Structure 1
């Protein structure tokens, strides 16, 4: 397989949150903190992603991820203080020709406060898209995302792009979820600015009438990535959550909808360690 085809396939082997980044993240440990006055949120996550080459330069995709939100208030601790999600991904990349490939990933997830478990904690989703390598400097992705959230189906089109503007400057994204501008400062270092959006839900325990928390956030970050070697990467960022909302639904008035309203727009910091394969 020529290098052009290899790079195009390997870059598409990503979990949904990173489908348009110029690298494949094979594993990662991350910590993110939001802080404002007496309210703070700690977010911990871990992920592993395994592509397996099959016949005709196609790939099977296996992945797993864990995420935990810990909500804290030094004056008045909320009743809902921990929200967690455990996800498994299974998918396939089919190489159509030198310029096109198709990726489909099935996502199965348990998302709740993890106080008790039932089939109501379960979510299922799928993302499918085509990737077009227009030339060595331009790439597009077009597809559809679906996930069965606790409020109902979440469906939206996705448009990915990756523009290599120069030897040092790159502009890439996955609309409507992420936009990123990256500048290479050295052989091992990258600076950048990114915009992220996320909307998801967590099922609550039986004592809260099995209602759910809806999370919606939009944040902006300045970041730095430093490669200790070809694959091992340290990364960090600092930014601000322009929009950050947690609303509670279907708890039969056991908890007010605005019970977590204090955890809103906040300063944020992010750090972690990852194993990555870059395409440049």
Structure 2
């Protein structure tokens, strides 16, 4: 991450578990518990933080008679430095997704997500696609924030390329920072190789580039800035400071699939 004379970096790790809740006819209720951690190093003092997120996600998925699907989700969790946890550390999201089944090779859809961020409100309308172009090539994801193109090289090896845009906010300690918070806007490209071992163990290694990895530091505020994807439509609250960085990205992951 480079900004003027700053040459820092961020380390991230995520751990999650998906779990079934209930199935009723063609409706399925699912859950996902996730723990995330971000560590910012060698930046300006106020940004050199270790922050965490502990969240629970719920999904309701129902298949209609014509094979179309309705998907509704909700998520809530704590997002802070976990120094002195309070209700001010809570963020939540809700949304829906309608998936239109055309044939076995093509599904399209639309939806919208809403997230209550510490600076205000984030709105994410999207179009979705799941298109198997040929037996080896597949285009999936949500447009415009997360399109993904995957090439299935063999039964076990695949190569994918994706773009991703996201906003995160993390509350800081009330004692030391008076409930200030950090906002992270990022857009990146990632190319990765995946290997599936014995149908259950998925190993991934990827490299990419953060085109925009912007950090903003805010004093505690309940003002209602509205964001479309990662772009502010208004500026009800202004940051105390801002770092506009970019840099290379490296990712390694493991996933166990039941």
TM-score (norm 1): 0.79
Residue 202 of structure 1 pairs with residue 183 of structure 2: no
Indicate which of 170, 192, 198 corresponds to 1:229: 198
Partner of 1:275: 256
Calculate the aligned-residue CA RMSD, in Å.
2.2
Please state how far the C-alpha of 1:193 moved relative to its aligned partner.
1.1
CA distance in structure 2 between the partners assigned to 1:222 and 1:112 by the alignment: 30
Partner of 1:5: none
Q: Contact (CA 8 Å) 2:219, 2:240: kept in 1 or not?
A: no
Please state how far the C-alpha of 1:176 moved relative to its aligned partner.
2.8
CA distance in structure 2 between the partners assigned to 1:148 and 1:217 by the alignment: 18
Structure 1: tracts of 5 or more residues without a match: 1-33
Indicate which of 123, 126, 130 corresponds to 2:94: 126
Q: Contact (CA 8 Å) 2:170, 2:183: kept in 1 or not?
A: yes
3-state SS of 1:120 partner: helix
Q: Contact (CA 8 Å) 1:85, 1:110: kept in 2 or not?
A: yes
Please state how far the C-alpha of 1:56 moved relative to its aligned partner.
1.1
TM-score (norm 2): 0.85
Partner of 2:227: none
After superposition, what is the alpha-carbon deviation per residue over 1:154-201, rounded to whole angstroms, capped at 9, x for unaligned? 122121101101111111121232011111111100012111111121
Partner of 1:168: 136
Q: Contact (CA 8 Å) 1:191, 1:223: kept in 2 or not?
A: yes
Greater relative CO, 1 or 2 (CA 8 Å, sep 6+)? 1
3-state SS of 2:25 partner: helix
Residue 49 of structure 1 pairs with residue 6 of structure 2: no
Residue 181 of structure 1 pairs with residue 149 of structure 2: yes
Please state how far the C-alpha of 1:243 moved relative to its aligned partner.
0.4
Runs of 4+ in 1 over 3 A off after TM superposition: 34-38, 75-80
Distance verdict in 2 for CA 1:171–1:42, change over 3 Å: same
Q: Contact (CA 8 Å) 2:95, 2:114: kept in 1 or not?
A: yes
Indicate which of 81, 95, 111 corresponds to 1:113: 81
CA distance in structure 2 between the partners assigned to 1:185 and 1:47 by the alignment: 27
Distance verdict in 2 for CA 1:51–1:151, change over 3 Å: same
Partner of 2:215: 246
Instruction: State the aligned residue count.
Output: 238
Indicate which of 23, 27, 31 corresponds to 1:62: 31
